[in-house]
Structure formats: structure tokens, C-alpha cells
Amino acid sequence: MLYEKKTAGIYTLGCKVNQYESEAIAEELAKNGVTVLPPTEVCDAYIINTCTVTAESDRKARQFIRRAIAKNPEARIVVTGCLAQTAPRSVAAIDGVDAVIGNVEKLAAAQAALTLLNEKKKNGAPKIEVEDINVAVFEQMRISSFGRTRAYIKIEDGCENRCAYCIIPSARGKIRSKAPEAVLEEIRALTENGCREVVLTGIETASYGKDRSDTDLGSLLAQVDKIEGIGRVRLGSLDPSLIRPDFVERIASLSSLAPHFHLSLQSGSSRILAKMKRKYNAEQAMNAIRLLRAAIPNVKFTTDVIVGFPSETEEDFAETLRFCEEARFLMVHIFPYSKREGTLAATMAEQVPTEVKRQRLHRLEARTKEIRRELLTEAIASSPVTEVLFETYENGYAYGHTADFLEVAVPSDAPLHGRLGTVCLQALTGDVCHGRLMELLQNERDGKGEV
């Protein structure tokens, strides 16, 4: 325990798994008497939870570390996450860093901060606690509260795909799955605390259960669906190779599973997918979309695409464009390929010029935005009355999402955070559906009813 009341801020970069782990770290600090504040405030300690997916991620991580040091030069600085795992000595060399904690036991970041806060001065020689990620087991952590409408639940860690462009297996190690009973217990507690939406996520969510004999992702979803009072359930990014007829048949009847899937596509060209060392080709990825579309009414898809991967030709790019047009993604996150030192792709010949990558990004972005507007316009016309889970409030409007992930805004005199309402969609403004709130649905746990 601390000798006196202290404060800490947590900077989180990167994926939803990092967000979850930061929440668990924050709860560990709070249990030990530390007040967790926004990292923009002056704090006695800062924990920077880093990402290393790209060189730009590394740059941002170092920028956040230096920003924390500049905000309070006497603050205890603890760095954890993927950059801490892959480049601990480089991180420790930044003047002002007190401790570097890898990904094997991230809750050790909270313990390191507590120890440092009880010392009278900063650590002159940074402490490095980075173990071999390849022999790690699933770290037991959980969250009991949530700051937003939805809660992210980490069910899996590690990735063994070894895609040509990705450094993450070196930062996260082998596949490790959380025990199903632990996942269910955590979700039950969050649901009883009023959480209306959970997102099951992992470094490679589709690999959940591959290291265990007692479960897999389909079985887990079926068990989650039976939790009393469960709201919406979403999944983190999925490899399209998971979406096979048997899996779709198992999940299609689940009442809690939201009809929205984020598929980690990366390219619509089979030739480029092979060079990326993905586990599927373009036709298999499209078949996955067709299977889900046939089984789940009004299902929507979002995805990630890399443009300008080494040797990508104009025809390869055209295949990706055609794929996105047929798939009709609600949203596409587009990234120009950038070299990541330590990956196979960084050594490949035929690197695509920066200007060509930029042009392809803009062309794909323009077309996919047109498709998004078409989908939203169709939704307003065909299904104007829908349920919305509200999340934020700004300038007299409450914002939220439908089950199939359409963003909706309604006029409101007060925030509707965490409330589920029936909305009549009326018009499209930019990428947001605007509508009229008809009623707020009964929440069994808080007894609130109509508007």
C-alpha cells in the first residue's frame, strides 16, 4: 500500500487487447489506493501501454513516453506493451523512464508503479522485466467495471500466423486462451453491473481455444448467449478462414450475437494474399461473407485493407477494389503498406512507390465511402425503426450504434449513456443516421422506462 495518496495516468496505444489490459491495470492501481486520472493531467506516475504494429506506432509510443516525462519530470514512468517487449533496452534508454515491463505479466506494470511511488526519488537505473514471450501462459486478469457503454473482454492472447508484414507474433507469442469459465464469470459480473454490450477480443480472436481441449470460439459464444440478462455480444477482428459452414451454423441462431463482423481481409487479390502468407485466398474470403449473409439477416461487415504491399500491381489493386464492391463493407480501414523491420515483407523486392500507395488509398477510400453511404441510405429506407444503444452525448445529440453497427444520432436534452432506445431513422448527414427517439426500453437492472 502507499504511504500517501498518489495519482496515476495511463496512456494506451494500439489494439482493443491493450485497452482491456490498461483497464485491468487501472483497477489494480485503484485497489491499492492510487487515484487513476486521465493521462492528460499532471500525475505522480504514468504507465504507457505501447503498440509496435508499425514503425509509426513505435514513434507514437516514444512520443507519448516523452510527453509524460515533460508533463511531470518527477513522475514515475513505467512503459509496458508490445514495444516494451520487443525493444526493452531502447525504451529504457529514454531519459526519465523508471521501469520497462513486457507482455508476459502486464499487471506487473501496476506493481512497478506502486513500488516506485513509495520510493523517495526516481529510479536512476531503469528496471527491466521482460521475459520470453514464447513460453508465456495466459495471464489471469479481469475487469469488474467499464467506463463506456461496452466492455472489451480479452479471451485470447498470441498469434502464430506469421504473416509477412506483421511483427506482432514476436511481441505476443504463442496462442493462449482464457478458460471459458473465467470468461463467463467476468461477463456475468459486468452484465449484473449494467453493461449492455461486450466485445470478445484477442490478438487473434479466431484462434480462441486452439490451445485447449475443452472449448472453441463457437462453444464459448453459445455459453455466453445463455447468460441471464446478456445484452449485445460482438467479436474482435476475425480471420476469414474461421468462417466455415459449421461455424456459421452454430452461431446463426444466437440471440445475443450482433449481426456485425469485422473481417481481417488485408487484400482482395489472391496473389497478394499468398505473398502476405495469409491462410485464405480471395474466393474463400468472399465465400465467408456469402455464408454469413445467407444465414444472418441484415448482417454488416467492416474490414482492414493494406494497399501497396510489395509487388502489388494495378490489376492486384483492381481485384481488391472489385472485392470491396461485391462485399459492400460498411467501413474499410485502409492502410498504405509501410516497412516493418524484422518482417519478411520488409526484405521483399518490388516495393511500391509512396505516391502510388497514396493514390490507391484515395481511390479505394472514395469508392468505399460511396458504398457506405449507399448502405446507410438503404437502411433508413428499409428499416427505419431500430434499436440503438447510446454511448456519447455532444451538442444536444445522443449518439449510439445499432446492432449492425450503424451510427445514429438523436436530439436529446440529456445524455443517454448506456441506455437502449427505439429510434425512427429519418435522414443521413455525412456518415451518421439521424432520427427521432421513440422510447427508451426498460432496463431490468435500473428500472428505467420510457422517455
Strand extents, DSSP E, 236-349: 260-266, 300-307, 331-336
**Whether the predicted pLDDT of 450 surpasses 50:** no
Which tens digit of pLDDT belongs to each residue from 240-291?
A: 999 999 999 999 999 999 999 999 999 999 999 999 999 999 999 999 999 9
**Whether the predicted pLDDT of 446 surpasses 60:** no
Which range is least confidently modeled, 72-76, 298-302, 351-355, 415-419? 415-419
Tell me the mean pLDDT in the region 330-357: 96
pLDDT of residue 216: 97
| The CATH number of domain 6-131, selected from 3.40.50.2300, 1.10.287.130, 3.40.50.720, 3.40.50.12160 | 3.40.50.12160
Mean pLDDT of the chain: 95
pLDDT higher at 318 or 2: 318
Beta-strand relationship, 232-235 and 197-202: parallel
pLDDT over 70 percentage in the chain: 97
**Whether the predicted pLDDT of 451 surpasses 50:** no
The rounded distance, in Å, linking the Cα atoms of 176 and 200 is 14
Report whether CATH 2.40.50.500 matches the domain 383-440: yes
Which string of DSSP letters, residue by residue, matches 51-118? --SSHHHHHHHHHHHHHHHHH-TTSEEEEEEHHHHH-HHHHHTSTT--EEE-SSSTTHHHHHHHHHHT
Q: Do domains 6-131 and 383-440 have the same CATH topology?
A: no
CA dihedral 85, 308, 238, 205 (to 10 degrees): -10
The rounded distance, in Å, linking the Cα atoms of 259 and 257 is 6
Which tens digit of pLDDT belongs to each residue from 108-129?
A: 999 999 999 999 888 889 999 9
Which tens digit of pLDDT belongs to each residue from 135-158?
A: 989 999 999 987 767 899 999 999
pLDDT of residue 123: 80
List the domain boundaries for the chain. Answer: 6-131, 383-440
